[in-house]
A and B are shown apart, each in its own frame.
Chain A
Amino acid sequence: MSRRRRPKQQTGSHRETGRPAAGASSSETSAVLGPGHTFASVTDQISAIVLTRKTSRGWIFGFAISFTLMMAFLYATAYLFARGIGIWGTTIPVGWAFPIVNFVWWIGIGHAGTLISAVLLLLHQEWRTSINRFAEAMTLFAVSCAGLFPLLHMGRPWVFYWMLPYPNTMDLWPNFRSPLVWDVFAVMTYFTVSILFWYMGLIPDMATLRDRTKNRFGQIVYGMMALGWRGSAAHWQRYEVAYLLMAGLATPLVVSVHSIVGMDFAASILPGWHTTFSPPFFVAGAIFSGFAMVTTLMIPLRSIYALQDFVTLRHLENMAKVILATGSMMFYGYAAELFFAYYSGNEFERYMTINRVLGPYGWSYWALIACNVLTPQILWSRRMRRCVPVLFVVSLIVNVGMWLERFIIVIVSLHRDFLPSSWRMYYPTLWDITHFVGSIGLFFTLLFLFVRLLPVISIFELRSLVHETDEEE
């Protein structure tokens, strides 16, 4: 791929949001789009990633690792189906363990994609343009990983359809008053709407690839996926209305999904779960972890595929700000939890909190505080927000921290319940770890395929962005 030479003198000062920070190299821009881009240059550069760029060795290497991990996941799943969930460390009183931790973690990660594409669209945040496609794909793959865990956890996954209302010879209905059944509806709706939203965004870009590719097979496949898109004024008019409405629908949906996940816990009577603030707390955590994951993935992607003109420091800085803001909400949440326990006057509630902080899993609580509360504080500094390596490390730490948070909520709350005689430590088995690491492999396998086969940045929206920036000039 030949990179377009950008005329440096065209760096319009109005595109700069501020002076370049000390940490930024001279080629980095603070605007939402690098200088000197035209409709043709953005189209060619993004479509070249898919169409003409050779599959790099790094891609093959990364894909091979991810694919191997995915195979490990399948192997573990086959073994699970053969032997039952006894292969996991899940034992009473810890009846929900790693699979549920992973489920909540993955679905939380997924939420950033919807928020970036839907909420920021409704708020007219033009910087979302370069990252929304990738973030939506991340949502889709994270929700795919998330959805597998409750299925695997069922023990008899082949009768998963019992969760759905359908006319059956047993003459039974699911218990519609249970948050677990709400969750089935919420996750399935979320997955479906995410696919529709993502595919709708892809249609005009599929047409772009159809018209750019010289490969007959590519023309057919992209042509089929483009559905005959011609970009007529009538098409665009309906398309924009539909896209906006979908964004409007996805916004409350994303809030509802993680609220319902929060209710899975809140509706029980277990100390540590039974709190009214679970739903909003879970939603804030979801945004926090999701933005961290987008940052983790975007930083390597932009340097590997030379996308610094499209995913600029401005994007990274904005994401860092969201991480900082939601991280502060998490801090508030942790503080509120401690206060609730103290103020409730309930001995079980108090014991749960003391056990969380000072009990045998106390290390996880302090690690959580270090990851989710202390680490993001570094982002108060503008210099640090614009320092790419620092941001990458912070985002990784936040990912770990959010996993730990779910670990604490699910496992540490369960392992010492009301009856001391039933207390037991929880230890994951090799299969627990294989399923968790394998699901990361599945996620990255899908992500690698996506990066190779589909445009990672919404091309038509970039063209719109070029048009808008041109008009400002």
Chain B
Amino acid sequence: MIMGAPAKLESIYGLLAEFEQADAVVDAAHKAYAAGYRQMNAYTPFPLEGLSEALGQKPTRLPWLVLIGGLVGGSAAYFMLYYASVVSYPLNVGGRPLHSWPAFIPITFEMTVLGAAFAAFFGMLALNGLPHPNHPLFAVPAFSLATRDRFFLCIQVRDPLFDIERTKHFLEELTPRVHEVQP
């Protein structure tokens, strides 16, 4: 099946199937996964439950990043408070303890939240590979409807099972509209 001209394979990014119904794209994702395709992604105007699992995508590691971000923020803040109040600038106020931890809690809490929020926001972008202003898919005119009311499934050329004719045939059985995506 890879006897087709490799040059031709390189000339496209993948095949993009267009669906009008949300259920159809989930269904197609299941079928494509069952057919053995792995290098594929679906594009929807809003998050669809079960789609990511249907495509065989693993749950994201983002929560761990957020946890680490929060821990780093909180411990850095507490260390700073401790260092300032006990080591760098000890101030004896009526013999009260220098390491007055209850007074350190609010700032520690705020910095924990800040660290975790930064991790959530920038972690999400980084894992998603954003910002990424241009992408081959944007060249497909119909793809602009992915942010309106259409649902797409793209099988990429780098999938080992990808064969322009067979994959096209496979997708055309699911939907009448299949676009070639130029790289």
Contact = CB atoms under 8 A, between A and B. Distances in A.
A230 B111 contact: no
| Majority DSSP secondary structure for residues of A touching B | helix
B81 interface: yes
B79 to A, nearest CB: 12
Interface string A179-196: 101100110010011001
A211 B130 contact: no
B176 interface: no
Interface in B55-84: 55, 57, 59-60, 62-63, 66, 70, 80-81, 84
Interface in B106-143: 106-107, 109-111, 113-114, 116-118, 120-121, 123-125, 127-128, 130-135, 137-138
A43 B148 contact: yes
| Majority DSSP secondary structure for residues of B touching A | helix
A245 B147 CA distance: 24
A22 B156 CA distance: 58
A256 B51 CA distance: 37
Interface string A310-330: 000000000000000000000
B48 A241 contact: no
B62 to A, nearest CB: 5
B132 A228 contact: yes
A231 interface: yes
Contact of B120 (A186, A249, A253): A249
Contact of B45 (A176, A237, A463): A463
A239 B126 CA distance: 11
Given A172-B89, A176-B84, A246 B117 contact: yes
Contacts, number: 186
Contact of B124 (A39, A200, A228, A231): A200
Contacts of A249: 70, 113, 116-117, 120
A196 B47 contact: no
B106 A256 contact: yes
Contacts of B81: 176
B62 A227 contact: no
Interface stretch (B6-14, B36-44, B163-171): B36-44
B113 A241 contact: no
Given A230-B43, A230-B135, A241 B60 contact: yes
A237 B144 CA distance: 20
B55 A227 contact: no
B139 to A, nearest CB: 12
B3 interface: no
Contacts of B114: 189, 192-193
A212 B148 contact: yes
A199 B125 CA distance: 12
A338 interface: no
Contacts of A211: 144-148
Contact of A176 (B43, B60, B103, B145): B103
B127 A238 contact: yes
Contacts of A239: 47, 124, 128
Interface string A157-177: 000000001000001110011
A234 B52 contact: yes
Interface in A422-470: 460-461, 463-464, 467
Contacts of A260: 106
A290 interface: no
B85 interface: yes
B164 to A, nearest CB: 22
A208 B145 CA distance: 9
15 contacts: A172-B89, A173-B89, A176-B103, A212-B147, A231-B45, A233-B41, A237-B52, A242-B66, A245-B63, A246-B120, A256-B106, A256-B113, A263-B106, A463-B45, A463-B46
Given A39-B45, A211-B144, 4 more contacts: A193-B113, A233-B51, A245-B62, A467-B48
